[in-house]
């Protein structure tokens, strides 16, 4: 037994030295460590030895088995590393340029994600709207002076490119009974001159929550969470009185300047504040227009320009950079 063990050890050593790749190592493993391998054959033969010898050779064979197994493993690893390290592409090539989201898309998705996390669902509506949805139902009759705030692209009388996303809340409230908790992201159109702060096509997100007992406090709370999430926990905010025909009371949310932190600088006109969005409690007449009783239900609405949010967040002073497709600008995001 002793001689056979020595012969086997020598044989294994020289086979290991000769093996030059992973395939030959695998062949060795099967030959010696496999179920019908040489080492297992030897183990079977131990049964014919005396108790004393069985103990001695059993130990020795086990040691040989373990040694061979760990030696095979480490050689496997070495061959593997070598084959990975020496890999080279057949032809030199260019690393493909991987793109990323446009700053407006990024802002859009941050806003939508925020409200979705608070249980709002996304609704969309047509970009060509009827007068009733764009104005009438929102408490702006034909002769209402507030219509002048929205420079409308008319297609024909009573039909226009929507000038805000608020028509979507009317469409949803007509079909659905409260509780209604929705956001409406989308494109809007106004014939404003294309300058640093106006674009004829821009994006808005409308937020609407209607249920029994919805209060201004809840509106204030969701806006404070929104400001913290989008602009950082240290950002201060205030809601100032404002006017919109479709909300009563109406407010405007301003946040502490993202450049000077409220100290006063040229971006915030030394006021320390930047106006961000409009909001308010849904006007009782708007609820009546969609046959929801303002005696039972109340709600809040928020309308924000996505460009405005992105401009405040990334300190951009010209809206036109979003549409120029200048890579020097886009690559900064
Ligand atoms: Zn400032």
For residue 97, being part of any structural domain is answered with no
**308 in a domain, yes or no?**
yes
Same domain, 124 and 194: yes
- Answer yes or no: do 78 and 147 share one domain: no
Asked whether residue 33 is domain-assigned, the answer is yes
CATH classification of the domain holding 306: 3.30.930.10
Length of the chain, please? Answer: 333
Distance 181 CA to ligand 1 centre (A): 34
Which of 31, 51, 85 is the last residue before a domain boundary? 85
Unique residue bearing structure tokens 């005396």: 50
Give the structural domain span for 46.
2-85
8 A C-beta contact, residue 279 and residue 300: yes
Of 85, 112, 135, the residue at which a domain comes to its end is 85
98 inside domain: no
Same domain, 67 and 199: no
Q: Do 66 and 109 belong together in one domain?
A: no
Supply the DSSP symbol for 96.
Answer: P
Alpha carbon of 199 to ligand 1 centroid (Å): 24
Distance 309 CA to ligand 1 centre (A): 15
Tokens standing for residue 112:
């939508």
Distance from C-alpha of 102 to C-alpha of 24, rounded to nearest angstrom: 54
Instruction: Give residue for tokens 């320390």.
Output: 272
Measure the CA–CA gap between 274 and 28, rounded to whole angstroms: 75
Question: Coil, strand, or helix at residue 121?
Answer: strand
Say yes or no: 28 and 58 in one domain: yes
Cα Rg, the chain, nearest whole Å: 37
* 319 CA to centre of ligand 1 in angstroms: 18
Do 112 and 8 lie in one domain? The reply is: no
Give Cβ neighbours of residue 167 (< 8 Å, ≥ 6 apart): 125, 129, 133, 134, 137, 138
In a domain, 96, yes or no: no
Spatial separation of the C-alpha atoms in residues 222 and 230, rounded to whole Å = 12
Compute, in angstroms, the gap from residue 188 CA to the centroid of ligand 1. 29
In a domain, 94, yes or no: no
pLDDT value for 88: 66
Residues 108 and 17 in one domain: no
* 107/54 same-domain check: no
Question: How many angstroms is it from 315 CA to the middle of ligand 1?
Answer: 10
Strand blocks (E) in 165-236: 180-189, 201-212
Q: Decide if 95 is inside a domain.
A: no
What domain count does the chain have? 2
235/189 same-domain check: yes
Final residue before a domain boundary, out of 31, 53, 85: 85
Helix, strand or coil, per DSSP, at residue 71? helix
pTM: 0.69
Same domain for 204 and 65, yes or no, is no
Cβ atoms within 10 A of the Cβ of 178, count? 18
Task: Please name which of 106, 274, 283 lies closest in space to residue 203, comparing C-alpha atoms.
Answer: 106
On whether both 266 and 191 belong to a single domain, the answer is: yes
Q: Is 157 labelled as part of a ligand binding site?
A: no
Tell me: do 216 and 272 sit in the same domain: yes
The one-digit pLDDT tens for each residue of the chain (333 residues) are: 878 888 888 888 888 888 888 888 888 888 888 888 888 888 888 888 888 888 888 888 888 888 888 888 888 888 777 776 666 667 777 888 788 899 999 999 999 999 999 999 999 999 999 999 999 999 998 888 888 888 889 999 899 999 999 999 999 999 999 999 999 999 999 998 888 888 899 999 999 999 999 999 999 999 999 999 999 898 999 999 999 999 999 999 999 988 888 888 887 888 999 899 999 999 999 999 999 999 999 999 999 999 999 999 998 888 899 999 888 888 888
**Inside any domain, residue 261:** yes
């Amino acid at each position: 037994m002793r001689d056979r063990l020595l012969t086997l050890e020598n044989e294994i050593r020289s086979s290991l030295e000769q093996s030059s790749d992973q395939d030959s190592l695998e062949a060795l493993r099967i030959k010696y460590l496999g179920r019908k391998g040489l080492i297992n054959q030897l183990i079977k033969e131990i049964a014919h030895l005396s108790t004393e010898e069985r103990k001695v050779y059993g130990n020795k064979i086990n040691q040989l088995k373990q040694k061979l197994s760990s030696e095979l493993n480490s050689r496997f690893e070495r061959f593997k590393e070598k084959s990975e390290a020496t890999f080279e592409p057949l032809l030199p090539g260019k690393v493909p340029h991987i793109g990323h989201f446009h700053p407006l898309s990024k802002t859009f998705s941050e806003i939508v994600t925020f409200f979705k996390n608070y249980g709002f669902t996304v609704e969309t509506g047509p970009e060509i709207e009827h007068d009733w949805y764009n104005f009438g139902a929102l408490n702006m009759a034909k002769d209402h002076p507030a219509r002048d705030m929205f420079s409308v692209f008319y297609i024909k009388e009573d039909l226009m490119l929507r000038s805000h996303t608020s028509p979507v809340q009317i469409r949803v409230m007509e079909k659905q009974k409260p509780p209604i908790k929705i956001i409406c992201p989308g494109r809007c159109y106004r014939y404003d001159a294309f300058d640093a702060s106006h674009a004829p096509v821009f994006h808005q997100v409308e937020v609407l929550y209607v249920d029994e007992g919805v209060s201004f406090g809840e509106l204030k709370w969701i806006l404070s969470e929104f400001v913290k999430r989008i602009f950082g926990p240290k950002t201060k905010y205030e809601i100032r009185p404002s006017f919109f025909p479709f909300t009563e009371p109406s407010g405007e949310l301003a946040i502490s300047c993202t450049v000077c932190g409220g100290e006063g600088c040229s971006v915030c006109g030394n006021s320390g504040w930047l106006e961000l969005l409009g909001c308010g409690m849904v006007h009782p007449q708007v609820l009546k227009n969609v046959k929801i009783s303002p005696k039972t239900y109340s709600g809040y609405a928020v309308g924000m320009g996505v460009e405005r949010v992105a401009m405040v967040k990334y300190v951009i002073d010209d809206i036109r950079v979003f549409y120029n497709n200048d890579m020097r600008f886009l690559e900064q995001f």
